[in-house]
């Protein structure tokens, strides 16, 4: 079977510091994988390597069977949602959603169709003419997700998309991301240090420590059969 994403013996050093070491990971089409671990363990670095925002020191990355290790980010078939919303402040929500598609020269009616679909899925139709400054944190993060959605990609990458939000919004958006995945059935790689997010969202969780995956398993197994004390302590302790 062809994997959606395959990481082969991936290493990344910043100078003499080894941040990722000989990492391997196979992700099935449509799978929701959570990369879980404490701050500084290398989650964002791994995600940025998959996105093509960082050059790897060694190893390969395959997306839909194609070796993309040295491909430009825009050619990888991925969409990325960051922790900070990174919206264009001077543009309306509609413009924020359509900007990348306009730059790519997509026909106008196709752009409109995609923006309307994303707005419907994320329930942000009433916000299309507003500027980011006039949105709440949760609304901004929906728009940020919408920008990945309109690109119609196979693989979504999320880097702690909810960590700037308060607890109530976090749990609301958690439910929405889960619903989004059930509807789109695309592959999602989701970085968090929040155990609850990991346990509620993931098909499988990869628990990381110092650039190494300690355990990769479904939430039930991780919770009930941690392979070592590190995993047991991390998933057992409150965030
Ligand atoms: P996480 O997302 O799990 O919090 P990161 O992937 O951001 O962790 O960082 C992993 C390690 O790499 C940390 O020790 C961090 O200090 C280091 N690091 C991240 N980015 C850089 C960089 N551009 N230059 C040097 N070190 C970095
Ligand atoms: Mg990070």
User: For residues 22 and 11, is the Cβ–Cβ distance under 8 A?
Assistant: yes
What is the Å distance from ligand 2's center to 164 Cα? 13
What is the Å distance from ligand 2's center to 160 Cα? 7
What is the Å distance from ligand 2's center to 40 Cα? 7
Per residue in 26-80, pLDDT tens?
999 999 999 999 999 999 999 999 999 999 999 999 999 999 999 999 899 999 9
CA 32, 98, 65, 51 dihedral sign is negative
CB 12 less than 6 A from any atom of ligand 1 = no
pTM of this structure: 0.92
More confident residue, 86 or 75: 75
Q: Is 129 exposed, middle or buried (0-12, 13-18, 19+ CB in 10 A)?
A: exposed
- Give the alpha-carbon dihedral of 23, 83, 168, 34, to 10 degrees: -10
The helix (H) or strand (E) run that includes residue 34 is strand 32-36
Q: How far is CA 102 from CA 44, 151, 203, in A?
A: 28, 11, 35
Ligand with an atom nearest the CA of residue 17:
1
Whose CA is closest to atom 26 on ligand 1?
14
Whose CA is closest to atom 2 on ligand 1?
44
d(CA 22, CA 82): 25
Name the CA radius of gyration of the chain, rounded: 18
**ipTM above threshold 0.90:** yes
Q: How far is CA 232 from CA 32, 42, 81, 97, 107, in A?
A: 22, 19, 29, 41, 52
Atom of ligand 1 minimally distant from the CA of 14: 25
| Start-to-end CA span in the chain (Å) | 37
What is the Å distance from ligand 1's center to 153 Cα? 27
């Amino acid at each position: 079977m062809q994997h959606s994403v395959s990481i082969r013996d991936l290493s990344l050093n910043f100078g003499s510091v080894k941040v990722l070491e000989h990492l391997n990971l196979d992700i099935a089409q449509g799978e929701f994988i959570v990369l879980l671990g404490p701050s500084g363990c290398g989650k964002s670095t791994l995600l940025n390597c998959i996105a093509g925002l960082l050059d790897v020191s060694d190893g390969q990355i395959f997306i839909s069977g194609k070796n993309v290790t040295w491909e430009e980010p825009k050619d990888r078939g991925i969409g990325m949602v960051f922790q900070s919303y990174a919206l264009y402040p001077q543009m309306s929500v509609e413009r924020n959603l359509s900007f990348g598609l306009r730059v790519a020269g997509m026909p106008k009616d196709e752009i409109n169709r995609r923006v309307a679909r994303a707005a419907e899925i994320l329930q942000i139709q009433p916000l299309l003419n507003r500027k980011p400054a006039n949105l709440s944190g949760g609304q901004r993060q929906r728009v940020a997700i919408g920008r990945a959605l309109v690109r119609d990609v196979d693989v979504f990458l999320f880097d702690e998309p909810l960590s700037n939000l308060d607890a109530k919004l976090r749990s609301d958006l958690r439910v929405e991301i889960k619903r989004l995945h059930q509807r789109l059935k695309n592959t999602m790689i989701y970085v968090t240090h929040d155990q609850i997010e990991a346990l509620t969202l993931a098909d499988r969780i990869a628990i990381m420590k110092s650039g190494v995956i300690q355990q990769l398993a479904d939430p039930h197994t991780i919770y009930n059969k941690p392979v070592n004390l590190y995993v047991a302590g991390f998933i057992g302790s409150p965030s």
